[in-house]
Amino acid sequence: MAERPTPSITVAIPAYQAQRFIAETLESILAQTRAAEEVIVVDDGSTDGTARELARFGARIRVIRRPNGGCAAAFNTAFRAAAGDFVAECGADDIWEPHKLERQLEALIAHPEIDIAFSAARVFGAAAGCWGMPDNAHMRAGILERQGLARTMYRSNPVCPSTLVIRRSLYERLGPFAEHIGTEDYEYWMRSLCGGAVFHYDPEMLVRYRRHDANASSDHLSMREADLYVHRRYAREVDDRALVREVLAGDHFALGRILRNAHRSREARAAFGASLRQKPTPRALAWALLVSMPARHQDALANRAISLTRALGAEPSG
């Protein structure tokens, strides 16, 4: 039997104000037990010392500079410039384990039908934990069954972008990352599922994903709105209508809480009402009643609403 050809890999790194960590990231990529064919760093309009740090690596990396346009635009720039059969994404502050590419290439060779390969990641820094497929998922390794993955992914995003390797021809077929929403990666994984992409999961933690103040979004409203956009757009891809209603109810409820805290009571009332229409819950009812009261009474009653819904087992502890 003829030996299967080894796919070529381009690494794509968007970098904005990345002087603190970019060198450590690049060192982990360049020290892989199986080297990538090319490493592209898109300097997305940095004004700090990012350019100086990148210059230290000389010809071992290719640097593309562009005006600041955000992470999605930077990734799109890198994908358009990539020559590899697959593109491996990496954040400018994350760290690859030395055998990351080697292990994923073994999977790509063994299963040439793979379009997207991802793994678990170890979260460190300002938070600690694991990012990957949930422990209760039926699919823990290998090629993932489409509907099972759709249900898991619809509930929450299990794909750490810095673990991901994506077939470049899939990107060319599906089009670029959406640059108008705050969860462009999540939207792309759902779009890929809709487009018939074959996903492969490795439960080994092949990446260390760094959490710090700069990469934690402070615009919670826009992030929640983006999640709702994705969940509405791809609701038909999920075969569990109860799950769809539960997730959409949770999105609307979370938006209601954010809007209430911003003293936008009319919008909050509409959000809680939308949550109740998707799935009636004690917490949504309590908050809908709360924001229907005069504004001067809401702050005093908010803590009581939280305590009541927690006592009913319906309020998150966080």
Does residue 222 fall inside a structural domain? no
* Same domain flag for 275 and 138: no
Specify the higher pLDDT residue, 214 or 288. 288
CB 197 within 8 A of CB 114: no
Average pLDDT, the chain: 90
pLDDT score of 136: 65
**Separation CA 139–CA 200 (nearest Å):** 10
Specify the higher pLDDT residue, 221 or 318. 221
* Same domain flag for 114 and 191: yes
Range of the domain at 292: 240-311
* Same domain flag for 137 and 206: yes
Does residue 2 fall inside a structural domain? no
Q: What pTM does this model have?
A: 0.88
Q: How many CA atoms lie within 13 A of 90 on its CB side?
A: 32
Does residue 229 fall inside a structural domain? no
Among 92, 102, 86, which Cα is nearest to 164's?
86
* Same domain flag for 283 and 177: no
Does residue 225 fall inside a structural domain? no
Does residue 223 fall inside a structural domain? no
* Same domain flag for 46 and 190: yes
Alpha helices in the chain (DSSP H): 22-30, 50-55, 71-81, 100-110, 146-155, 168-174, 184-194, 220-233, 241-261, 265-278, 282-290, 295-311
Q: Tell me the C-alpha to C-alpha distance, in Å, between residue 17 and each of 53, 71, 283.
A: 11, 12, 41
Residue 96, helix vs strand vs coil: strand
* Same domain flag for 289 and 186: no
Does residue 46 fall inside a structural domain? yes
Among 284, 290, 291, which Cα is nearest to 309's?
284
Tokens 């600690």 — which residue? 128
* Same domain flag for 24 and 134: yes
Among 97, 99, 78, 98, which Cα is nearest to 87's?
78
pLDDT, tens only, 55-105: 999 999 999 999 999 999 999 999 999 999 999 999 999 999 999 999 999
Does residue 106 fall inside a structural domain? yes
* Same domain flag for 126 and 273: no
Q: Tell me the C-alpha to C-alpha distance, in Å, between residue 34 and each of 128, 272, 275.
A: 28, 51, 49
Q: What is the CATH number of the domain that holds 78?
A: 3.90.550.10
Q: Which of 199, 215, 231 is the last residue of a domain?
A: 215
pLDDT, tens only, 101-143: 999 999 999 999 999 999 999 999 888 999 999 876 566 789 9
* Same domain flag for 193 and 50: yes
Mean pLDDT calculated for residue range 219-245:
93
**Separation CA 231–CA 245 (nearest Å):** 10
Specify the higher pLDDT residue, 42 or 141. 42
Q: Which of 198, 215, 232 is the last residue of a domain?
A: 215
pLDDT score of 1: 47
Structural domain total, the chain: 2
Does residue 317 fall inside a structural domain? no
* Same domain flag for 103 and 162: yes
Q: Which of 200, 215, 230 is the last residue of a domain?
A: 215
* Same domain flag for 54 and 112: yes
* Same domain flag for 269 and 132: no
